[in-house]
Amino acid sequence: MAGRPKTILSRIAQALPVVVGVVIVTFLLTRALPGDPAVYFAGPSADQNSIAEVRAALGLDKPLPEQFILYVGQLLHGDLGQSISTGQPVAVELARRLPASLELTLLALLLSCSVAVPLGVLAATRPGSWVDHLCRVLVTAGVSLPTFFTGLALIYLFYYLLGLAPTPIGRLDFLYLEPERVTGFFLIDAALAGDWETWLGALRQIILPAITLGLFTLAPISRITRASMLQALSSDYVRTARAAGLTGRTVVYRYAFQNALLPVLTTLGMVFSFSLGANVLVEKVFAWPGIGSYAVDALVVSDYAAVQGFVLAMALLFVALNLAIDIAYTLVDPRIGFEKR
């Protein structure tokens, strides 16, 4: 299909203005926030002079356009600035914390999908049966319990009462050494290094927060799977397939499920975005060194560079995610790439 690469390229081109817009908006937004970082960092005993000194050191005494040009120039060199609360370069901190958040979110989604999608399909093929009711109960429970509560409940049960889980602090127990960094995902890096003991340690740490987050995302995925499967199963093409003698498995998976996958993919993209944002609470409960808790801490102290870096990283992530969903769409649905003609 000549249409597909063209569609993908044009989607990438459409993403560029979004990135530029995000750079401008985050810059202006952080400047507009109340609170003066110079005052904060000069300390409680500072006088006018020392505050002005700090302000000059941070480059905040220059006019806004000049600050912006400096900021963009640094960005182009991959320099996101220095976090004034931790003293570390923002780029380094993000590079360390982003994989932690991504690993958690991806594993949570993987767990959630592997339960929600089969559950939705089963519920749709047997509407009104016990599977359908189970699906409904599980899903309602998943969304109605806030993540920090599920997290605490799981810790109480598996760590405090049963002692099955390790201390819920961080990505890896202090007994283990961090695996050699390749992707930043401990599970993958440990597996690449062949260090299965560390792999198991990392898994034991991540499993509870991942389940906590996954439970929360169960609902939208299984609901949309059920709804779009029901629609696909009552369609004309499924009737044709049945009338031609095709049986359960072929009809359900090759005809109905492939068509039902399209809305599921869209939902998956949205769920991924909101769970990246929502996992701040989970990170706090499990002392997970992720990007969410970093951003909250930076925001509290008006740490411009850190907040800007965080928002930019998230924006790029969302753009990449939407792109990935669009590309997945063109792979599943042959009609895409022709609609605009």
Partner 1 sequence: MALLDIRDLAVSFRTRRGTVEAVRGVSLSVARGETLAIVGESGSGKSVTSYALMRILDAGGTIKAGELTYGGVDLRRAGEREMADIRGREISMIFQNPRAALNPIRKVGRQIEDVLLRHGRATRLNARARAIEAMEAVRIREAGRRYHAYPFELSGGMCQRVVIALALACDPKLLIADEPTTGLDVTTQKAVMDLVAELIAERGLSAILITHDLGLAAAYSDRVAVMRRGELVEEGAAAEIFARPQHPYTQKLVAATPRQGVGVRELLPPEARTPAPPPRIGSRPLLEVVNLTKTFETGDGPVQAVKRVSFEIRQSESVGLVGESGCGKSTTSAMIMRLLDPTSGAILFDGQDLAETPARRFARDPRRAQLQLVFQDATDSLNPRWSARASIADPLARLGRLDRRARRACVEELAELVGLPGELLDRFPHQLSGGQKARVGIARAIALEPKLLILDEPTAALDVSIQAVVLNLLVDLKARLGMSYLFVSHDLQVVRLLCDRIVVMRGGEVVEQGPAEQVMGAPASDYTRSLLEAAPRPPSGEAGSRGLPPRAVPL
Q: What is the DSSP letter of 252?
A: I
Residue 130 or 174 having the CB closest to partner 1:
130
Residue 255 or 272 having the CB closest to partner 1:
255
Q: Minimum CB separation from partner 1 for residue 245, in Å?
A: 3
Q: What Cα–Cα distance (Å) separates residue 308 from each residue in 46, 81, 131, 281, 294?
A: 26, 9, 46, 21, 12
Sites of contact with partner 1 (CB under 8 A): 127, 234-237, 239-247, 250, 254-255, 258-259, 332-335, 338, 340-341
296 φ/ψ angles, rounded to the nearest 5 degrees: -65, -45
Q: Minimum CB separation from partner 1 for residue 157, in Å?
A: 41
Q: Minimum CB separation from partner 1 for residue 338, in Å?
A: 7
Closest by CA position to 310, among listed 169, 38, 101: 101
176-185: long-range pairs with CB below 8 Å, 24+: 176/201, 176/202, 183/99, 184/95, 184/96, 184/98, 184/99, 184/100, 184/102, 184/103, 185/99, 185/102, 185/103
Q: Minimum CB separation from partner 1 for residue 239, in Å?
A: 6
Q: Minimum CB separation from partner 1 for residue 73, in Å?
A: 40
What residue type is 203 in one-letter code? L
User: The tokens of 71 are what?
Assistant: 């900021």
Residue 181 or 239 having the CB closest to partner 1:
239
Residue 21 or 127 having the CB closest to partner 1:
127
State how far the Cα of 300 lies from the Cα of 180, in Å rounded to an integer.
33
Residue 55 or 226 having the CB closest to partner 1:
226
User: The tokens of 332 are what?
Assistant: 């599943």
- Residues in the chain, overall count: 341
Residue 255 or 294 having the CB closest to partner 1:
255
Q: Minimum CB separation from partner 1 for residue 247, in Å?
A: 5
